[in-house]
Chain A
């Protein structure tokens, strides 16, 4: 099977906790072995091998992160359908984590909102099973697709990442502010952490700070570092 899979490597982007002034997690992003983008890598993967590749990536990502000395949370992207396709989709990852001494409860699986929408009752059930092992779940690109809130009725992830289409220019965009305030309210009531992702400017950052958001990801703090852990910029935190 491996013969059909392209060469790949990883980049790491920090999620920062601006209140604590420390890196909360690293998200692992797929790259080509020469730094090509994730989409370029995935283009080379045959549809039939997609989930197998997804699984291979996660296993390698953990090994890689351990080699680089990651000791905070580790965020990995995850296609929910892989649970259906491969029985070992999550268990292989738990095994590798144990083997390489990375705590399972420091792993976050990020699931894109749009991938969950088809059958989220089934999804919630499957996910909750893996939660028993201590794996955490985050909804990625929250607010970008069309499931959004009703997803939270059936399944409460440990955190959500507010999609960058809602983040962009939020400081001057009223409807976006109103939507994000609603998301914040719901998540606070459900005890779900919020990460503002794709933050690029000080003004965007300030807006989220004033709303009490503490977790951030984006170029404003650090670009993804190819095969290394980049140093994050910590701005002043004034809620």
Chain B
């Protein structure tokens, strides 16, 4: 089976479109799309198009090439092009919504605009949905002036999970929830490495050689997964990705996916947290490896965003599903204007790209309240729940 991708773009109509124009455009595209097995949605509002195309890579690319040269529109901006695990608009050869801006503002779920009784709120959570939400907020409108997810690769090197190094036997995990404080819901637990008696990780493994590190990292995630499975994981699971060399990334991810399968945890519940500062090698290459696994549902989060090397450029290169703001940005944000300005800028970018933001290490009510006021509702920190050794602690909502 070939790669399933979605491609989302926006553009501006070259002339004012009448209903008849839109209907004819839609009829042609439905016919062609059915043939090419392309699904998606097309929004039109006051001269702006916003379209999601889903299908096999060949089919989507072929169609997009034609779309780029279609003279009915101009200012075509490619927003995202990435592999997906499954289609969001599986039932529509091309769902079509015509909106005016007032309706767009009024409707929270875009409910009434979808044909066949399906609604925006029923769409699976995913990038396409988030980008639709961004469009609703007025983003991604191309305007002309003066006019009103992959098949797993075979043949990967098998990585055995022998607990060969002596360090491994000393390892266990604590878990800390990441909660949506608006919905009062735990969206995930992060597995935090500990000693077997809940000691600090840094005391346990003072020195692991470079040669041992890949296996150590890989084994850690396997233990985290099996521990989480044994404890009855109630949500998604965030795992730290500690491989130090980009060249090792593929086998490290592959073995993690295998561990998840062995333990009956669906891959789309796993989020890898990446610390760019500790990863040596080419970011582009790393992004390619991640891309291969997007198709099977794997998600990635950039940890320590805004600190060290984990910065803006990575959003373009890596296209994460999520970023985490950590202690360097979070601490005392309620009184630190520079940090506030940074988070506002990051929020703007992430909103436009459909990337979720988690505020980590939130320790005070004031920090908590500031994030909430900015619309950041995914919170992790001792204020909500401290990590608990080999259990899933319940959050305390404020």
Contact = CB atoms under 8 A, between A and B. Distances in A.
Interface of A: 117, 143-150, 152-154, 156, 171-179, 181-187, 189-190, 238
B276 A182 contact: no
Nearest to B79: A174
Contact of B311 (A146, A176, A184, A185): A146
A179 B75 contact: no
Contacts of A153: 306, 328-329, 336, 338-339, 342
Contacts of A149: 306, 311-312, 342, 345-346
**Mostly helix, strand, loop or mixed at chain A's interface?**
helix
A186 B341 contact: yes
Contacts of B259: none
Given A174-B78, A189-B344, A146 B319 contact: no
A177 B313 CA distance: 12
A146 B309 contact: yes
12 contacts: A149-B342, A153-B336, A172-B75, A174-B352, A179-B315, A179-B316, A181-B349, A182-B347, A182-B352, A183-B312, A183-B345, A185-B345
Interface in B135-159: 140, 145
Contacts of B80: 174-175
Nearest to A206: B145
A238 B328 CA distance: 40
Interface residues of B, number: 42
Main secondary structure on chain B at its contact with chain A? helix
A201 to B, nearest CB: 13
B3 interface: no
Contact of A175 (B319, B340, B345, B346): B319
A189 B78 contact: no
Contacts, number: 118
A154 B311 CA distance: 15
Contact of B345 (A146, A176, A182): A182
A176 B10 CA distance: 14
A142 to B, nearest CB: 9
Contacts of A181: 348-349, 352
A127 B75 CA distance: 42
Contact of A178 (B9, B344, B353): B353
A173 B329 CA distance: 28
B314 interface: yes
Nearest to B310: A146
Interface in B298-312: 306-312
B78 A148 contact: no
A171 to B, nearest CB: 7
Given A153-B342, A172-B75, A189-B337, 8 more contacts: A117-B309, A149-B311, A150-B307, A150-B311, A156-B338, A174-B78, A177-B77, A179-B316
Most buried by B among A152, A175, A178, A189: A178
Nearest to B346: A182
B336 to A, nearest CB: 8
Contact of B314 (A146, A176, A186): A146
Contacts of A143: 312-313
A190 B341 contact: yes
